[in-house]
Amino acid sequence: MCSAELLKETRQEVTALLRHLIRIDTTNPPGNEIKAAEFLAGSLEEEGFKCELFESKPSRGSLITRMKGSREGPSLLLLSHVDVVPANPKEWTVDPFAGMVKDDFVWGRGALDMKSMTAIEVVVMKLLKRKHARLKGDIILAATADEEKGGEDGVGWLTRKHPEKIRADYVVNEGGGLAIPVNGKNVYTVQTAEKGILWFKVKARGTPGHGSVPGASDNAILRMNNVVGKLERYHSKIVLTPTVRQFLAKMAKEHRTARKTFTKLLESPATADSVLDELARKDKMLAEETRAKLRMTVTPTIIHGGVKENIIPSECEAVFDCRVLPGQTTAAAMGKIRNLLRNVGLENLDFEIIQANEPSESPFDKPLYREIVSSLREFEPGCAVVPDMLTGGTDSRFLRKLGAVCYGFQPMRADMPYGELKSGIHGVDERISIDNLVFGASVLYTVVKRFMTRVNT
């Protein structure tokens, strides 16, 4: 089938699905994802799919369905989460849960993150069934709960309780696919790696006293000030992971204006900071995103201390967000941080780990990656594709732990300013163009159909 026909068939369907999904409020917390899972089950069952609903806790629902293959080839999981982060209607120019269409965009919470991908994946499954695709391996679709709060009641729970339902050789999920326009050419990202998350709390202890005689007490806020200062001045070692190395090499090739920068980063990573400082004067976002891909980072995000104007506080608490690279561990990072704070007085500091998720990376030298590249080039001759590391986290980490090769890939063209698009995710006026919905569905369908109907080695 040619892509023009596919476009027509898909346009209405994928748009309607997304609008419906946005209207089901799955703000997490509390989530209430079962409503979205039930809606999707109904939609899929109409076309003969058998669906299973799983509830990790009451109303925390995830949906799974499967199309059987002949077992001659690898299996593939099409993954998405159906929960969304809160939206404050007062800050939006439209109702975030109305699923409205305006200016050929679908507006609403989840339009980008990531109900659009859920709609796209459902459409891909339906198209495969309608076209009687002869699959060599099983394709599983999972629309899950709780990603926005860490995934423990969604994919985390599924991988612990029902790993056989969700285990696959390959996974396609969120986290990549957005084109970076470079010199008039689209460079599409495929997320092949993500950093690990270490959220920890530090409690600094001191002794209370009167604010008018500061020397007589031990001020916990000043101790915390030293902790924050030490961690701010800490620049961890630069490490190029395989994904980042490939990302830099590709960008050096494609990015005329920043070619020198990327080449220097590759050739002498130790000088990265001065090279990136220079780039930051021209493109702050690109420079800082790149810097965060090169090392472990740690930054304070919450701080509390003191109870009254004239009391020297005996306690001060701060929360830090630390992100570690693939190849590093959260335990080693915690050890490093404690070590750095030796001089601040470990005996007066208590540490508590709030959340720790290990980093993960998948190889990009794989048949599915090559299929993504060749399919994209058919839709858009001359485009480039780069593997990319996400500095944030996705549910892919749970599946990589089960042995799956995971790629973040929702193909999208940059049809609105990059900053506006990024600020819609978890921000206000989140929206996706209908063209991007159709483009995403068409590319993903092509990739999946080709990859799953031939024998891959």
Report the nearest approach of Zn ion to the CB of residue 415 (Å): 20
Q: Cβ closer to Zn ion: 236 or 410?
A: 410
Report the nearest approach of Zn ion to the CB of residue 317 (Å): 29
3-class DSSP state of 136: coil
- Strands 209-210, 311-312: pairing is antiparallel
Report the nearest approach of Zn ion to the CB of residue 21 (Å): 13
Q: Cβ closer to Zn ion: 150 or 306?
A: 150
Q: Cβ closer to Zn ion: 26 or 290?
A: 26
Report the nearest approach of Zn ion to the CB of residue 114 (Å): 4
403: left (phi over 0), alpha (psi -120 to 50) or beta: left
- Which residues does 262 contact at the CB level (< 8 Å), separation at least 6? 248, 249, 251, 252, 255
With CA atoms as reference, report the closest residue to 292 among 310, 304, 280: 280
Q: Cβ closer to Zn ion: 174 or 371?
A: 174
Report the nearest approach of Zn ion to the CB of residue 84 (Å): 8
Q: Cβ closer to Zn ion: 60 or 295?
A: 60
The first and second tokens of residue 226, run together, are 């030293």
The size of the chain, in residues, is: 457
Report the nearest approach of Zn ion to the CB of residue 20 (Å): 19
Q: Cβ closer to Zn ion: 40 or 384?
A: 40
Q: Please state, in angstroms and rounded to a whole number, the distance separating the CA atoms of residues 126 and 124.
A: 5
Q: Cβ closer to Zn ion: 191 or 442?
A: 191
Q: Please state, in angstroms and rounded to a whole number, the distance separating the CA atoms of residues 336 and 350.
A: 15
Q: How many CB atoms lie within 10 A of CB 101?
A: 15
Q: Cβ closer to Zn ion: 43 or 80?
A: 80
C-alpha dist (Å) from residue 382 to 161, 230, 379, 440:
45, 47, 10, 18
Which own/partner pairs from 368-374 qualify as long-range (CB within 8 Å, at least 24 positions apart)? Answer: 368/76, 368/170, 368/405, 368/407, 368/447, 368/451, 368/456, 369/190, 369/192, 369/407, 371/447, 371/450, 371/451, 372/190, 372/407, 372/409, 372/447
Report the nearest approach of Zn ion to the CB of residue 251 (Å): 25
- Which residues does 95 contact at the CB level (< 8 Å), separation at least 6? 89, 108
Which own/partner pairs from 285-288 qualify as long-range (CB within 8 Å, at least 24 positions apart)? Answer: 285/418, 285/419, 286/258
Q: How many CB atoms lie within 10 A of CB 430?
A: 28
Q: Cβ closer to Zn ion: 305 or 393?
A: 393
Report the nearest approach of Zn ion to the CB of residue 54 (Å): 19
C-alpha dist (Å) from residue 454 to 73, 135, 281:
8, 8, 49
Q: Cβ closer to Zn ion: 113 or 146?
A: 113
Q: Which residues make up the interface to Zn ion (CB under 5 A)?
A: 113-114, 174
Say which DSSP state 5 is in.
H
Report the nearest approach of Zn ion to the CB of residue 53 (Å): 21
Q: Which residue is nearest to Zn ion (CB)?
A: 113
Q: How many CB atoms lie within 10 A of CB 183?
A: 10
Report the nearest approach of Zn ion to the CB of residue 150 (Å): 12
With CA atoms as reference, report the closest residue to 398 among 150, 226, 55, 99: 150
